[in-house]
Structure 1
């Protein structure tokens, strides 16, 4: 698709910058055709600075460049989604993003669940918490539960009851997340191992 740089009178199109790994939005900049071509040539994101009225390579002073991974054009051909590997913080204020958010990998609801598990691990005296009770019983009990749930997933995989299979799979994943934290790890540690193998 061809970018429509002439849609606006200023010849600029918005460029949304997204981390290729975490999928977090890092910043918004603007590109004219020259900045776009420069980005393609150098594989480092270059914008058109509206305040400086010139091309501006992100990180030209700080060294916090944005290494180009991919560029996508929206359906109206007037907005870019640029995925990058950031080198250092993206915002000029020193934060990871221009919204003051940390650029960390999240896994949606699973990250929320990890937070709850961490809270239960830190507050093991909670007598009403099943997760806290597992942590109190120690690593052997947690590992045993993962083994039991894994066997139940295998059994249900061989049957035709999809609801039971999904429920046992959820139990396995839940207990595995507990085991990870019992060993001092998180999902991100497993992701790093898998990335190193790809």
Structure 2
């Protein structure tokens, strides 16, 4: 239960948790696995394992025809291709700058208008990361610049209502994409 504003340091945390020690079990290029020794709100000792990763972004990119850009990619852990909104890690950038970068890298799109839709905590019991959601309009073609993990990624344009139906049918399941599309539907009203 380590809140976003408590990522660093030791000591008393909100809601009565006290962190007495942190051990970094693994540190890789994208994640760190931590094991915290804690005193729970009820006073008992405990261990709390969690992953530290950069915040992420997802972008609902709508064109002037009411279509949304979706990307399809291979996901190792799921062992399948999955449709989702363009996005990824913030890489230390401010969320809006990261959203614009990811939109260009993955979908080859540049947006003139980007508005925040909200923020979600996709796995609050397991990771410190938050996902910042944006609505991008005023789109024009840019240059795709995918990294090595995105080699097989493809871009698809779907009618916005069809993308919402895919969420309801369980075809689009990635948390940030589901939340982003549903929030964009609310904004589009």
Q: TM-score, normalised by structure 2?
A: 0.32
- Which structure carries more helix by proportion? 1
Is the radius of gyration larger for structure 1 or structure 2? 1
Q: Which has the higher strand share?
A: 2
